[in-house]
Amino acid sequence: MEQILNEPKTFKQLVEDPTIQKEDKLQRKLLQLKNIGFLTDSEYKFTRPVGSQPGKAYGLLKIHKDGVPLRPVISACGTFNYKLSKLLVNKLKHLRASPTIVIDTFKFVKELQNIKLNTTNIKMVSFDIVSLFTRVPLACIIDLILDKMYGPTHTCSFRGLKRADWCSKCQHRYELKWLLDISTKDSHFIFYEKLYCQT
């Protein structure tokens, strides 16, 4: 596991624990979003972090692979942005409603069983993706989400207007981007009393 965490292109060891500062920053932003009506009172109360801790890293053995390598897992339970992430999943789940999305293995197997094909010339292929999460282009994914929610970027932010003068669509786009960024790019975790963040 330490070999994985010592990969400088993926992880960086931290000297100090940034949990309190990140919790405070998120608390202030959530209060601001509640005050402008972007979050409801119940959403604010649900997402407001208190007593946060760093995520916890551990490894799961890939017993189906040669050499039994580790799959790194970060448990985010109790982190400063955990409940915010849960809220965002709930708010964005309608974007995933598509007949081409398979929710889990059980649904996938059921769908395969219902397909009637002449299988003499068909092969099923499975691709193994190494370190998927660390290779996902988060900025592109966040822009895709924002485009689905609010349409393409409007010109408010490019015309030199103060944010207070932006149209509501651009203001909401900006606020959701901030929340998505802090939920996906700003996490840190602990492994054997050493703190790390993803680079």
Q: Which residue has the tokens 């551990």?
A: 58
Residue 178 included in any domain: yes
Residue 69 included in any domain: yes
Predicted TM-score (pTM) above 0.75: yes
Residue 41 included in any domain: yes
Report the 10 Å Cβ neighbour count for 57: 19
Give per-residue pLDDT as tens, 47-100. 999 999 999 999 988 888 888 888 889 999 999 999 999 999 999 988 877 766
Break the chain down into helix, strand, coil percent, rounded to 5.
45, 15, 40
Residue 78 included in any domain: yes
Residue of 123, 140, 121 whose CA lies nearest to 184: 140
Give per-residue pLDDT as tens, 102-143. 777 888 888 888 877 776 777 777 666 666 666 678 888 899
Phi (first) and psi of residue 159, to 5 degrees: -90, 5
22 has pLDDT over 70: yes
15 has pLDDT over 80: yes
For residue 163, the model assigns a pLDDT of: 75
Residue 126 included in any domain: no
Residue 130 included in any domain: no
Q: Which two tokens stand for residue 159?
A: 């015309």
Contact 59, 75 (CB under 8 A): no
Secondary structure string (H, E, C) spanning 62-127: CCCCCCCCEEEEEECCCCCCHHHHHHHHHHHHHHHCCCCCCCCHHHHHHHHHHCCCCHHHCCCCCC
Give per-residue pLDDT as tens, 29-43. 999 999 999 999 999
How many structural domains comprise the chain?
Answer: 1
Task: Report how far residue 22's alpha carbon sits from residue 75's, in angstroms, rounded to the nearest whole number.
Answer: 17
Residue of 174, 169, 164 whose CA lies nearest to 142: 174
Phi (first) and psi of residue 63, to 5 degrees: -70, -15
Q: Which two tokens stand for residue 186?
A: 């700003």
Q: Which residue has the tokens 């509640």?
A: 34
Q: Which domain holds residue 55?
A: 2-97+136-198
First to last CA, the chain: 17
